[in-house]
């Protein structure tokens, strides 16, 4: 049985003052949500604050990006061993905002994935199509290509640990959620390429109101939550919706 995972992606939001109460609320409530692993992926400067606030709560810590490089002369980069040093369990790689706005290529995403794994982090590999790609009937081809780049480099066995997040680009931060049928179709396609135990999350405008319908799908193992993860009660409600009903 795959353990459900609900991970918050705070993106570039937060301040020490705002984070404190949010982290405290999550750390207090999450242990009662049996059978669901919660994680928060915070901006780099807040890793230490989050690690301290979440200590002992069972809520995992994650980063939103990781360098593909080992320590060295890479100004402005943060490497996987540093994230591990701060107690991170997860690192998001290949988020569409990084692919779109920072020009990350499939090759680079695969390298980041490898760097995370090499340092004992669990990569959360994001894949997803744009609206134009979906409308052109290219969804399967696009997510297949994004995943294939990682499989070629890291091998299928890497997905014994690694997590995938299917995030249609047109559903991120737009309030438009993919229909359950669309989500299940892509998740099933992805699952064929990885392992039966690989957790495949859905992301894109997930909120408490639509989470249960998405988490009821056979190949959805949780969610990667952006905007809604910034409100502790909303994030916790989504995590509760991920509890298995059987
Ligand atoms: P959203 O973001 O929930 O705000 O749509 C999801 C993500 O980008 O991971």
Question: Is the beta carbon of 226 within 6 A of some atom in ligand 1?
Answer: yes
pLDDT for position 245: 78
Closest residue by CA, ligand 1 atom 3:
226
pTM above 0.85, yes or no: yes
- Residue 233 a catalytic site member: no
- Residue 167 a catalytic site member: yes
| Mean pLDDT value across the chain | 97
Helix (H) or strand (E) holding 160: none
Question: Is the beta carbon of 224 within 6 A of some atom in ligand 1?
Answer: yes
| pLDDT band at residue 108 under the 50/70/90 scheme | very high
pLDDT for position 231: 98
Tell me the per-residue pLDDT of 94-106, one tens digit each, with 9 for 90 and over: 999 999 999 999 9
Q: Which atom of ligand 1 is nearest to the CA of 228?
A: 3
Q: Is the confidence at residue 246, as pLDDT, over 70?
A: no
Q: Please identify which of the residues 97, 167, 187, 234 carries the catalytic annotation.
A: 167
Per residue in 24-56, is it b (16+ CB within 10 Å) or e — as a string? Answer: ebbbebbeebeebbbbbbbbeebbeebbebbee
pLDDT for position 224: 98
Give the chain's domains with CATH numbers.
4-241 (3.20.20.70)
Q: What is the mean pLDDT of residues 141-147?
A: 98
């Amino acid at each position: 049985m795959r353990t459900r995972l609900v991970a918050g992606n705070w993106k570039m939001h937060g301040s020490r003052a705002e984070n404190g109460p949010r982290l405290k609320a999550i750390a207090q409530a999450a242990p009662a949500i049996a059978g669901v692993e919660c994680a928060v992926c915070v901006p780099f400067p807040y890793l230490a604050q989050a690690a301290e606030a979440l200590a002992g709560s069972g809520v995992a810590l994650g980063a939103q990006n990781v360098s593909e490089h080992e320590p060295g002369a890479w100004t402005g980069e943060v490497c996987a061993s540093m994230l591990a040093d701060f107690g991170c369990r997860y690192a998001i790689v290949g988020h569409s905002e990084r692919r779109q706005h920072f020009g990350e290529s499939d090759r680079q995403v695969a390298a980041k994935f490898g760097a995370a794994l090499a340092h004992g982090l669990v990569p959360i590999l994001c894949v997803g199509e744009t609206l134009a790609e979906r409308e052109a009937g290219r969804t399967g081809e696009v997510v297949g290509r994004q995943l294939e780049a990682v499989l070629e480099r890291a091998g299928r066995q890497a997905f014994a640990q690694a997590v995938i997040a299917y995030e249609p680009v047109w559903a991120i931060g737009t309030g438009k959620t993919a229909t359950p049928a669309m989500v299940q179709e892509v998740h099933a396609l992805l699952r064929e390429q990885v392992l039966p135990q690989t957790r495949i999350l859905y992301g894109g405008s997930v909120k408490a109101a639509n989470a249960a319908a998405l988490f009821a799908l056979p190949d959805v193992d949780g969610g990667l939550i952006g905007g809604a993860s910034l409100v502790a009660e909303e994030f916790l409600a989504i995590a509760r919706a991920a509890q298995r009903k059987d």
